[in-house]
Amino acid sequence: MRPVIELGVNIDHVATLRQARGTAYPDPVQAAFCAEEAGADGITIHLREDRRHIQERDLEILSRTVRGWLNLEMAASHEMLTIAERWRPSNCCLVPENRRELTTEGGLDVVGQQVHLRDVCGRLAQAGIAVSLFVDPELAQIDVAQALGVPAIELHTGKFADAPNVQVATDELLRITRAALHAQTLGLRVNAGHGLHYTNVQAIARITPIVELNIGHSIVARALFSGFSAAVRDMKQLITQARQ
């Protein structure tokens, strides 16, 4: 038997749909409940500086209701640090954040920000939060992550997921595999995520040093079509009943 691999479900895009209309629904808190009922080991949310999807209210409720781990992705900023210390999710993943990006575009430059990150990681650890650093599959980044004393890294799988052809995908898979083995040798917990979907996930899930995958967009997109027919049926039934 290969070692167990955990699934963290990222529910940001349930909140994206809610924020598009400023309604109370769909509620990411309900999505977290459904995800855990369906076997998710943990819930991941990204509280962005521009609050485009997840709100602090979501973090507040989820920090009290999620039964598995709650992983807060956040920028290593003063504002986010204060919020993390207030709600104390079990895990924090530090990510780079760029206001105009559609999603997190690359890994954190751990090598270039060692002094700042040492301070942020130290404060999060003091609050009892397990920290991971979201990095590209580069050995130098992983070496510095270990030197900072964090328990985990998350490998950015975006380049693999977005590869324009099989050759690039194969090269990226090799880079991710080497990085995962290197991190494991250094004693780090190895997580991975970004851009994983129903046809590319198994290549990553086969890399045994990886023990956790964080997946969001593809799950929310699939859920839309698993439930679309029933949602239309329910609405049709309601308006028909109103005429009876």
Helix-strand-coil percent breakdown of the chain, rounded to 5? 50, 15, 35
* 194 is an active site residue: yes
Q: Which of 13, 73, 182, 212 is catalytic?
A: 73
- Minimum CB–partner distance for residue 127 and ligand PXP (Å): 20
Between residues 7 and 196, which has the closer beta carbon with respect to ligand PXP?
196
From CA 11, how far away is CA 32, in angstroms rounded? 7
- Per DSSP, the chain holds a count of helices (H) and strands (E) of 10, 8
Tokens 């206001």 belong to residue? 99
Nearest CB to ligand PXP, comparing residues 103 and 170 = 103
70 vs 10, 41, 136, 139, 181, CA distance in Å? 10, 9, 22, 27, 25
Closest contact distance (angstroms) between CB of 95 and ligand PXP is 5
**Interacting residue ranges for ligand PXP, rule: CB under 6 A:** 10, 12, 46, 73, 93, 95, 103-104, 134, 154, 193-196, 214-218
Catalytic residue among 13, 46, 156, 182: 46
Q: Are 141 and 182 in contact (CB under 8 A)?
A: no
Q: Which of 13, 156, 182, 194 is catalytic?
A: 194
Active-site residue flag, 73: yes
Taking the complex as a whole, the smallest distance from the CB of residue 230 to ligand PXP amounts, in Å, to 24
Active site residues: 46, 73, 194
